[in-house]
């Protein structure tokens, strides 16, 4: 169960199964209901047509006995227990039931069976639906109509022309009028065929919907299989990478997975670069301390050297080893540049460096007071690297600008085209294009009269390149040199 909840395949298939099942159930219930409603409407329409024919053909006969003027057209009326029946009975106005003194008329299809009907509906209703028990255990759906027929003499009197009443007419007028008669006409049909048609349709509908559901699930299974195939290919590529059969994630991936593979390859390249640099640093350190170690070994075996000389030479070699170790450790720390998860707020670093440089260069001999202006840095601007490295890069560039500036230094940091861009301008003498490349070489100084080691700009450029960034020198709007430091922004930076 836990595997199923964690599996993307089973999640997708489970959601598809639930959706398809719900859709099939709703579709089946709706279609079956619509077909039943349609079939019942057609069934009732046929019954209403039969009732209209029966009403048109009915006429009370002699002694108020029900009779038909013409036989009905459907042959089922004459076939016993055919499933189609009619019945006509005279109603007692007081009870609304069939008059006991008179046997109702009925179709030959009823044979010797009489439909047992409840009390008739109130006069004026067009038709009334009934559910009746029929002959031979049949279940009947019936339509009932109640009609009122005036006596023939009342009809003739209304149609006769106006004349002086004769003696017989006056006598008839004095005789009480014959009341109108009320009749109930019923047609009924066996609904077994209707129920059978509905059941057959429902069964076929369920079968076809089941086939459709299976086909949809098969399509969903194929879709999930094809959709997850790139992930399986990615897993296979990672397995090849882990086993040493490949150096990169190789293969063709769809557009949705390709960025992930590219990011993984970049991480692998960065890790490989870090490992390679660590190996180089270890080799450099071993090579650098090989000579001091050999000297120490020689001093330990030389019995003729005096103690003072030995102490001095030991101190010299230990200092040399310590310097090499410190230098290589610093480079090892810088070799971790660009590793995932590193981020540093830019504003505190830049603002702190500006405050420090204002104090360091506050008093300059025979030179005007230096003004260092800082453009406000947006909060949330983050560098994708360690704070010490950013401090060292910006600090070296800013210190260099303060040394050469005449009166002004301007510092700014902002996000430009998805990168962090730090600009430092000064109003000093500037550099020619040839000098701009030359000053990045280790130990090179643009002017020997200015204090320094000539390593600051070289270290800043190397550190920037380790982060995949750059340092460029150009002309400043202030008239001197502009230094641009471009680095990567953290993923959540503004």
Indicate the DSSP class of residue 124.
T
192-243 helix and 8-57 helix, angle to the nearest 10 degrees = 170
- Please list the rounded mean pLDDT of every run of 10 residues in the chain (494 residues): 69 88 93 94 93 90 80 90 91 74 85 85 73 90 87 52 48 54 90 92 94 91 86 83 80 80 83 75 74 77 77 80 71 58 87 90 82 91 88 91 92 92 93 82 46 61 85 92 91 60
Residue 102 is encoded by which pair of tokens? 């008179």
Pairing mode of beta strands 139-149, 105-106: unpaired
pLDDT score at 3: 55
pLDDT score at 341: 62
In Å, what is the CA distance from 109 to each residue of 66, 189, 263? 17, 11, 86
In Å, what is the CA distance from 325 to each residue of 120, 297, 320? 115, 19, 9
Three-class SS state of 302: coil
Residue 421: φ, ψ to 5°: -125, 115
Return the C-alpha torsion angle 16, 22, 23, 24, nearest 10.
110
CATH architecture assignment, domain 344-488: 2-Layer Sandwich (3.30)
Q: Give pLDDT tens digits for 270-319.
A: 777 777 777 777 777 777 777 778 777 777 777 777 778 778 878 877 88
Listed in order, the ranges of the chain carrying CATH 3.30.565.10 are: 344-488
Residue 267, Cα to own-chain centre: how many angstroms? 29
Helix and strand numbers (H, E) in the chain are 11, 14
pLDDT score at 203: 94
pLDDT score at 45: 93
d(CA 42, CA 46) in angstroms, rounded, equals 6
d(CA 465, CA 459) in angstroms, rounded, equals 10
Residues paired with 420 in a beta bridge: 415, 487
Question: What is the residue-wise DSSP string for 248-273?
Answer: S--S---TTTHHHHHHHHHHHHHHHH
d(CA 382, CA 389) in angstroms, rounded, equals 13
pLDDT score at 421: 94
pLDDT score at 186: 93
pLDDT score at 492: 59
Contact 471, 464 (CB under 8 A): yes
Residues 6+ apart with CB under 8 A from 121: 128, 144, 146
pLDDT score at 337: 54
Tally of residues, the chain: 494
d(CA 227, CA 35) in angstroms, rounded, equals 39
Question: What is the residue-wise DSSP string for 345-389?
Answer: EHHHHHHHHHHHHHHHTS--TTSPPPEEEEPPPPTT-EESS-HHH
d(CA 141, CA 84) in angstroms, rounded, equals 10
3-state helix, strand, coil in the chain (%, to 5): 50, 15, 30
Pairing mode of beta strands 371-374, 408-416: parallel
pLDDT score at 487: 92
**Per DSSP, which regions of 150-276 are E strands?**
181-190
What is the pTM assigned to this prediction? 0.51
d(CA 375, CA 412) in angstroms, rounded, equals 5
Pairing mode of beta strands 382-383, 419-426: unpaired
Residue matched to tokens 């180089």: 280
């Amino acid at each position: 169960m836990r595997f199923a909840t964690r599996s993307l395949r089973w999640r997708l298939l489970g959601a598809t199964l639930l959706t398809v099942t719900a859709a099939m159930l709703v579709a089946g219930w709706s279609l079956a209901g619509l077909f039943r409603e349609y079939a019942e409407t057609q069934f009732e329409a046929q019954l209403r047509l039969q009732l209209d024919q029966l009403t048109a053909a009915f006429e009370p006969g002699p002694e108020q006995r029900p009779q038909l003027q013409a036989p009905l057209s459907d042959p089922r009326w004459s076939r016993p227990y055919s499933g189609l029946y009619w019945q006509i009975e005279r109603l007692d106005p007081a009870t609304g039931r069939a008059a006991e003194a008179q046997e109702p008329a009925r179709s030959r299809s009823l044979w010797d069976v009489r439909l047992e009907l409840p009390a008739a509906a109130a006069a004026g209703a067009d038709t009334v639906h009934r559910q009746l028990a029929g002959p031979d255990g049949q279940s009947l759906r019936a339509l009932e109509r109640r009609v009122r027929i005036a006596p023939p003499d009342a009809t003739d009197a209304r149609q006769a022309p106006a004349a002086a009443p004769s003696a017989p007419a006056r006598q008839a007028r004095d005789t009480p009028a014959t009341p109108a008669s009320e009749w109930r006409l019923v047609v009924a049909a066996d609904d077994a065929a209707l129920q059978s048609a509905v059941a057959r349709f429902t069964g076929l509908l369920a079968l076809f919907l089941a086939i459709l559901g299976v086909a949809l699930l098969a399509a969903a299974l194929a879709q999930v299989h094809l959709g997850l195939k790139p992930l399986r290919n990615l897993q296979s590529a990672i397995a090849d990478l882990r086993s040493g059969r490949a150096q990169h994630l190789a293969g063709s991936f769809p557009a949705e997975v390709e960025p992930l593979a590219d990011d993984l390859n970049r991480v692998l390249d960065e890790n490989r670069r870090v490992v390679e640099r660590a190996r180089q640093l270890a080799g450099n350190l071993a090579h650098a301390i090989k000579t001091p170690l050999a000297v120490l070994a020689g001093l330990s075996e030389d019995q003729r050297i005096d103690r003072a000389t030995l102490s001095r030479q030991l101190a010299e070699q230990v200092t040399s080893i310590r310097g090499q170790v410190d230098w290589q450790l610093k480079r090892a720390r810088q070799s971790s540049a660009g590793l995932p998860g590193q981020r540093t707020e830019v504003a505190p670093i830049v603002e702190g460096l500006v405050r420090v440089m204002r104090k360091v260069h506050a008093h300059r001999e025979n030179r005007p007071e230096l003004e260092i202006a800082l453009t406000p840095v947006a909060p949330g601007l983050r560098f994708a690297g360690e704070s010490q490295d950013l401090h060292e890069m910006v600090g070296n560039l800013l210190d260099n600008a303060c040394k050469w500036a005449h009166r002004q230094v301007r510092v700014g940091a902002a996000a430009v085209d998805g990168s962090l861009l730090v600009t430092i301008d000064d109003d000093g003498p500037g550099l020619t294009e040839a000098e701009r490349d030359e000053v990045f070489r280790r130990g090179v100084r643009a002017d020997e009269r200015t204090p320094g080691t000539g390593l600051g700009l070289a270290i800043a450029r190397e550190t920037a390149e380790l982060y995949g960034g750059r340092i460029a020198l150009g002309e400043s709007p202030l008239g001197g040199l502009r230094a641009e430091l471009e680095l990567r922004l953290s993923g959540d930076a503004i």
